[in-house]
Copies of this chain bind each other. A is one copy, B any other.
Amino acid sequence: MLIGDLVKKSGLSKDTIRYYEKMGLIKLNKKERRENNYKEYSDDILVRLSLVKRLKLLGFTLNEISDTIEILLGETNPCTEILEAVNTKIDLVEQKMKELEEIKARLTAIQKNCNGNCSIDDILPSCINF
């Protein structure tokens, strides 16, 4: 598919896709050009872009994403490396979830302390050592 289609299917802008291309997140080999010099994007590229989008939402940087994708979708890594990478990512995700649970508990506590007439004094105790 051409870039216009990719824009529609990926939900990313033309400029963003080209930026990712420049950064090496997606790669086209020389075959993937039409005679008129237009770029031909495969479904693999779409998969990669979906991965990028998801991982970005979770706060990974493009460099981290680049590494992750290389391991997940690369062709040269044996299984153990893939599994290790996946396990590391799971740990990271679990860590983020724990953080969020803590924050949520804290917010809920504020909500409960605040019975119709709260002030800074109701909230501060919940924030110390937060």
Contact = CB atoms under 8 A, between A and B. Distances in A.
Nearest to A48: B127
A99 B97 CA distance: 10
A99 B55 CA distance: 9
Interface in A30-70: 47, 50-51, 54-55, 57-59
A93 interface: yes
Contact of A87 (B89, B90, B103, B111): B111
Contacts of A83: 111, 114, 118
Contacts of A93: 100, 103-104, 107
A78 to B, nearest CB: 9
Nearest to A96: B100
A58 B107 contact: no
Given A72-B127, A90-B107, A107-B90, A57 B99 contact: yes
A100 B58 contact: yes
Interface size classification for chain A: 35 or more
A124 B47 contact: yes
A40 to B, nearest CB: 19
B58 A99 contact: yes
Contacts of A127: 47, 50-51, 72-73
